[in-house]
Amino acid sequence: MDRRDFLGALGGLLLLPVWPADAACRLRGGCLRFGVVTDAHYAERDASGSRYYRASLDKMRAAVERFRRADLDFIIELGDLKDMRPDKDPQESLRFLDDIEAVLQTFRGPVYHVLGNHDMDCLSKEEFLSHTCNPKAARGQAHYAFSARGVRCIVLDANFNEDGSDYCRGNFHWTSAWLPEAQLSWLAEELDAHRRMPTVVFLHQMLDRFSDISPKLCVGNADRAVALLESHPQVMAIFQGHHHPGHYSRRGGIHYVTFGGMIEGPFPAHNCFATVEIHPDGHITIDGFGDCPDRLL
Q: Convert the pLDDT of each residue in 198-252 to its tens digit.
A: 999 999 999 999 999 999 999 999 999 999 999 999 999 999 999 999 999 999 9
**pLDDT by residue (tens digit) across 253-278?**
999 999 999 999 999 999 999 999 99
pLDDT tens track for 28-70: 448 999 999 999 999 999 999 999 999 999 999 999 999 999 9
The residue among 165, 142, 164 whose CA lies nearest residue 154 is 142
pLDDT of residue 30: 81
Other beta carbons within 10 Å of 154: 21
Q: Which residue has the higher pLDDT, 16 or 252?
A: 252
Q: How far is CA 77 from CA 82, 206, 242, in A?
A: 11, 15, 11
Are 44 and 93 contacting, i.e. CB atoms less than 8 angstroms apart? Answer: no
| C-alpha gyration radius of the chain | 18
The pLDDT of residue 21: 32
CATH architecture entry for 3-16+32-281 = 4-Layer Sandwich (3.60)
pLDDT, averaged across the chain: 92
Q: What is the per-residue pLDDT for 140?
A: 97
- pLDDT tens digits, 146-156: 999 999 999 99
Residue-wise pLDDT for 164-190, tens only, equals 999 999 999 999 999 999 999 999 999
How many residues in total does the chain contain? 297
- Name the helix (H) or strand (E) containing 88: none
pLDDT digits (tens, 9 = 90+) for 103-124: 999 999 999 999 999 999 999 9
Look at residues 177, 180, 154, 181 and name the one whose alpha carbon lies nearest to residue 167: 177
Q: What is the pLDDT of residue 68?
A: 97
Read off the amino acid at residue 169: R
Residue 14 pLDDT > 60: no
Region 81-88 average pLDDT: 97
pLDDT score of 16:
30
Decide: helix, strand or coil at residue 227: helix
What are the residue ranges spanned by the domains of the chain?
3-16+32-281
Residues 6+ apart with CB under 8 A from 257: 237, 238, 239, 240, 248, 286, 295, 297
Q: How confident is the model at residue 3 (pLDDT cuts 50, 70, 90)?
A: low
Tell me what pLDDT residue 2 has. 53
Q: For 153, left (φ over 0), alpha (ψ -120 to 50), or beta?
A: beta
Q: What's the pLDDT at 20?
A: 34
